[in-house]
A and B are shown apart, each in its own frame.
Chain A
Amino acid sequence: MWDYTDKVKELYTNPKNVGKIDDADVVAEVGSIVCGDALKLYLKIDDNDIITDAKFETFGCGSAIASSSALTEMIVGKNVKEVEKITNQDIVKYLGGLPEEKMHCSVMGHEALEKALKQLKGEKVEDHVDEEGEIICHCFGVTDDLIRRVIRENNLKTVEDITNYTKAGGACGSCIPKLEDILEEEAAKPASDKKKEETKKPLTNIRRMQLVEETITNVIRPILQEDRGDIELVDIDGKNVYVALRGSCSNCMVSNVTLKNLVEAKLREYVENDIVVHEIK
């Protein structure tokens, strides 16, 4: 059983501000039923930029309900300017703490708030992809921007931390190398620049072939094998890589990336960013 604080228990037992506001000035929805939690936030704001009412609907566990309730309680009666400064840590503080594994619930609350405020300012918010950068974790649809922000705001150090706060890396795990890269980059910027330069240098044909083979053996195959899949390198012709694939990313529940995309993404990451993968059936 989770070690929830009394405040969390109180708020999931008797959440405040449940429901919707029919004439809301802004409605923001984050998360999805696939991931196991989702939050829809409704705000009513007056002419002086004061949030006069906030309501929510949540699909999620005890701490998700409590975080949603906490968020609405924290913002009602406040000026939008003030509310902009709220972070997920403030939500956690309000709750008297959350178990590490449940930190993502507070992040979801904050995400909804941020999205709502952006919409309010008339910034067009499209779902995930375009607005908030590249999707790093396909299982949970977590973007680069979100991960970096959460790392900075919560001073995260390990991949497990990232998983606890954002869920990224918590399913198939194929994004973990990327999460490690992001952690490294956030810890020391120069390191990242060096890496990018390195990959930008044009490769000789032989070197490229070597790198493709190494990446398939050391990076891609282990990922696929975790899921009973496998890969065979059939041919390399310039930047065209021909592979045969077996099995499916069965663990990756929401994976909208096909295996081919995964292989291509990895090769682009490790070898050259314009590699094209062809699947031989």
Chain B
Amino acid sequence: MERVVYLDNNATTMVAPEVVDAMLPYLSGKYGNPSSIHSFGGDVGADIAQAREKIARFVGADHDYEIVITGSGTESDNLAILGSIAYYKDKRHIITSRVEHPAVISLCKKLERDGYRITYVPVDAKGNLDLAYLKESVDDDTAIVSIMYANNETGVIFPVEEIGEFLKEKGIPFHVDAVQAAGKIPIDVNKINCRLLTISGHKFHAPKGIGALYVRRGTRLRPVLYGGHQEKGRRPGTENVAGIIGMAKAAELAMEHLANIDEMKRLRDKLEEGLLSAFKNASLNGDKEKRVPNTSNIGFEFIEGEAILLYLDAKGIAASSGSACSSGSLEPSHVLRAMGVPFTSAHGSIRFSLSRYTTEEEIDYTLKTMPEIVNRLLTISPYWDNEKQEGKPINL
């Protein structure tokens, strides 16, 4: 296929060319083990130390030893939650939200089967977290609260600073899954007042399979893996050196780019407004204001998401959907369901997610291509009246 118009950056991103360049030496000549005594390895150790500093700066950490390198966002999420509850053994209650990533939700479901009490904080129709519900749920038995910074499907930003302040007073550990915030909005662990915070390299133009967990100084955390002394024993295993160097470079670039983030927002808004005004059957999923600037989740009523994606794919456009069919789960996305998005549009929801590499030309091409696809599927749909050009009444 020719060049794709890649509008699926919440799934993963292109590795930035500068990141590739930074990594290459460590995939060839500089293959030393950072733990070695000889300088061939030791030099690599020094490079990792530098990289760690950059990652610390990216999340606003005070000390570079507060950064624990992991193998993914999923691993960081697991380490944060499992590591905390392993320390506070007598506390058996965990608070999270109904719209977390599976990395958190599936783990909580498992812990629930193991006898933990889990509170899944609900969201409203716009995907905003019910903060009062969260506050009321906290009790003496609460071991940890894990809430995402920004939602991967809708982009909606949660009030993590307010939660952090509230929990700090109570002395309850707070973990923030910031995977979808990193690179899209500035992250400052001291403003959030969290003890733990997760990022994942491949969401901000580093490669896949590298992540980090910020662990505030003094935080009690037991390791999940046991082995050598790497990462101060908190996550042993010989380092993914190239990955770490790459993630640090990507973090540096992302911070620079935050200065021009308005351009990304402008393109996102152009796409969104264009689609919403072009189609009677389209509506926005998620809060229009409190959102990361790259994400737009649009529900198309009366047509099905996977079919839209396949037709888009044929036109060289990559996006994703919360429809049941595209996930293979038979049910539409748990996020849209938690928001109470009606089935008539949940099955037809499409998520467009931009990156700093997205161009105006690509947005224009997408705007030009969508009508053909949507109208074609509406013509096929039994729920669309082709003469009247409106949805038919549906008896559920």
Nearest-neighbor residue (CB-CB) of B334 within chain A = A251
Q: Is B329 an interface residue (CB 8 A)?
A: yes
Partner of A61, one of B307, B329, B337: B307
Of the four ranges (under 10, 10 to 19, 20 to 34, 35 or more), the interface on chain A belongs to: 35 or more
- Interface contact B112-A58, CB-CB below 8 Å: no
Q: B-facing mask of A35-56, CB < 8 A → 1, else 0?
A: 0111110000000000000000
A19 — which chain B residues lie within 8 A by C-beta?
379
- Interface contact B381-A58, CB-CB below 8 Å: yes
A222 vs chain B, min Cβ distance (A): 9
Within 8 A of A (CB), among B291-338: 302-307, 310-311, 314, 323-326, 328-332, 337
- Interface contact A40-B330, CB-CB below 8 Å: no
Of the four ranges (under 10, 10 to 19, 20 to 34, 35 or more), the interface on chain B belongs to: 20 to 34
Partner of A57, one of B323, B326, B329, B382: B382
B316 vs chain A, min Cβ distance (A): 14
Partner of B307, one of A65, A102, A170, A254: A65
Q: Is A34 an interface residue (CB 8 A)?
A: yes
Partner of A36, one of B311, B324, B382, B396: B324
- Interface contact A12-B307, CB-CB below 8 Å: yes
Q: Is B283 an interface residue (CB 8 A)?
A: no
Q: Is B347 an interface residue (CB 8 A)?
A: yes
- Interface contact A33-B325, CB-CB below 8 Å: no
- Interface contact B120-A33, CB-CB below 8 Å: no
Q: Is B230 an interface residue (CB 8 A)?
A: no
Instruction: Assess A253 versus B307: contact at CB under 8 Å? Given A57-B382, A58-B381.
Output: no
Q: How many A-B residue pairs have CB under 8 A?
A: 91
Q: Is A15 an interface residue (CB 8 A)?
A: yes
Q: Is A171 an interface residue (CB 8 A)?
A: yes
A38 — which chain B residues lie within 8 A by C-beta?
382-383
A64 — which chain B residues lie within 8 A by C-beta?
304, 307, 325
- Interface contact B396-A60, CB-CB below 8 Å: no
- Interface contact A36-B307, CB-CB below 8 Å: no
CA separation between A223 and B310, bound complex, in Å?
36
Q: B-facing mask of A54-95, CB < 8 A → 1, else 0?
A: 000111111011000000000000000000000000000000
Q: Is A152 an interface residue (CB 8 A)?
A: no
Q: Is B278 an interface residue (CB 8 A)?
A: no
Partner of B323, one of A12, A34, A36, A139: A36
B310 — which chain A residues lie within 8 A by C-beta?
12-13, 61-62
A106 vs chain B, min Cβ distance (A): 14
- Interface contact A36-B314, CB-CB below 8 Å: no
B65 — which chain A residues lie within 8 A by C-beta?
none
Q: Is A149 an interface residue (CB 8 A)?
A: no
A103 vs chain B, min Cβ distance (A): 12
- Interface contact A59-B304, CB-CB below 8 Å: yes
- Interface contact B396-A61, CB-CB below 8 Å: no
Nearest-neighbor residue (CB-CB) of B394 within chain A = A33
Nearest-neighbor residue (CB-CB) of A63 within chain B = B325
Q: Is A228 an interface residue (CB 8 A)?
A: yes
Partner of B329, one of A33, A65, A170, A225: A170
CA separation between A269 and B273, bound complex, in Å?
53
Q: Is B344 an interface residue (CB 8 A)?
A: yes
CA separation between A146 and B380, bound complex, in Å?
26
Nearest-neighbor residue (CB-CB) of A39 within chain B = B382
**What 8 new A-B contacts, CB under 8 Å, besides A59-B383, A65-B380?**
A33-B394, A38-B382, A59-B303, A59-B380, A60-B325, A170-B329, A253-B332, A254-B343
Binding site for A on B (CB under 8 A): 112, 118, 120, 302-307, 310-311, 314, 323-326, 328-332, 337, 343-344, 347, 379-383, 394, 396
